[in-house]
Amino acid sequence: MNVDCEGCAGCCLDWRPLTDADIDHEQRGNRRPLDGTANLVSLTRDEVRAFVDAGHGDALTPRLFTDDGGVLIDGHSVAAVDGRPVFYVGLRKPPKPVAPFDADPTWLDTCVFLDPVTLQCRIHDDDLYPDTCATYPGENLTLDVETECERVERHAPGQRAGQRLLDDDPQDATPLLGPAALGTKLFAHPEPDRLDGVCDRLEAGTLTDEDRAELVAVAAASAPGTGAVSEDWYERYRERARAADSWTGRAIDAWAAMGEVGQSAPTPQRARAIEDEDGAPPTPGWGNDK
Ligand code: SF4
């Protein structure tokens, strides 16, 4: 892929509050996410384990879906396989003060790993870098689905976005779809009763650390191909996720206490005190290497 991401990061943050256009593409069709996160980065089981093992269980969040023929939880008909609610695990997007497309600093939901100053990914060269990010937007092109680059080019305020998608060669993007995804990227919770209250809180954006740890642990304990859950692995990863205490979780709390999405925001440089001084890895800057 050949893309120009400098000054954009449109796939890493929710820039919808900067435009009046109707671009809520995830909230259409039969199956809709219960949460309002834009472009959730879905993780594989091994990636979920790696994030938890690295102490970043506090950076993860689940996504469940509504579905007409699903199981009833908190009054929601939730998508399920054999009566087991299915879900993804992705990266959290707290509000951060960011200024994409030369906009004024604004509180926007932003990937916990995006540096608000450089608009670059803090884990791009790290073993934790998610496959979903590495294959974006090639996977969309393979599936003939609009990319975030194209949305930005059409709707970014004042046409300041420039050209983001410089070619349309998907290269090695091989999406993981169908039954092979169960237990690998799509997970099935074995006991819907344990999710009482969770669906309401997911929809309201008020998930607790305990809620997140429950679903993260089920994902980490899932067997590829069947989605069967190992009780040992579940207990182990629930404890690790609950014990997470990293710069990611602290930054999410700090930003959330300061900002309201869509409102004017302080300079993104505040991230130097809130994230970098607390251990967040730096990004290289753009320089001549895009
Ligand atoms: S992990 Fe990095 S590339 Fe992926 S959404 Fe977050 S900031 Fe963007």
**Mean pLDDT of successive 10-residue stretches along the chain, which has 290 residues:** 83 92 72 92 97 98 95 96 96 96 93 97 95 83 78 71 68 60 95 97 97 98 94 98 97 93 91 98 78
Q: How far is the CA of 149 from the centre of ligand 1 (A)?
A: 14
Quick one: pLDDT at residue 1? 67
Atom number of ligand 1 nearest to Cα 39? 5
Residue length of the chain = 290
User: Is residue 111 within 6 Å of ligand 1 at its C-beta?
Assistant: yes
Compute the distance between CA of residue 188 and CA of residue 203 in angstroms, rounded to an integer.
19
Compute the distance between CA of residue 282 and CA of residue 151 in angstroms, rounded to an integer.
28
Quick one: pLDDT at residue 288? 56
Asked whether residue 290 is assigned to any structural domain, the reply reads no
Quick one: pLDDT at residue 161? 52
Q: How far is the CA of 210 from the centre of ligand 1 (A)?
A: 24
Asked whether residue 10 is assigned to any structural domain, the reply reads no
Quick one: pLDDT at residue 290? 43
Asked whether residue 6 is assigned to any structural domain, the reply reads no
Compute the distance between CA of residue 170 and CA of residue 97 in angstroms, rounded to an integer.
32
Nearest CA to ligand 1 atom 5: 12
Compute the distance between CA of residue 205 and CA of residue 109 in angstroms, rounded to an integer.
12
Total domains in the chain come to: 1
Do 234 and 64 form a contact (C-beta atoms < 8 A)?
no
Asked whether residue 9 is assigned to any structural domain, the reply reads no
**Could you give the count of Cα atoms lying within 13 Å of 11 in the half-sphere of its Cβ?**
22
Q: Which of 15, 91, 149, 152 to mutate to test the pocket of ligand 1 (most atoms within 8 A of CB)?
A: 91
Compute the distance between CA of residue 162 and CA of residue 27 in angstroms, rounded to an integer.
27
Distance of CA 27 to CAs 15, 36, 129, 252, Å?
A: 16, 8, 26, 25
Asked whether residue 11 is assigned to any structural domain, the reply reads no
Asked whether residue 40 is assigned to any structural domain, the reply reads yes
Torsion, Cα of 256, 260, 263, 264 (10° steps): -30
**Could you give the count of Cα atoms lying within 13 Å of 107 in the half-sphere of its Cβ?**
16
Q: Residue 219's domain spans which residues?
A: 16-278
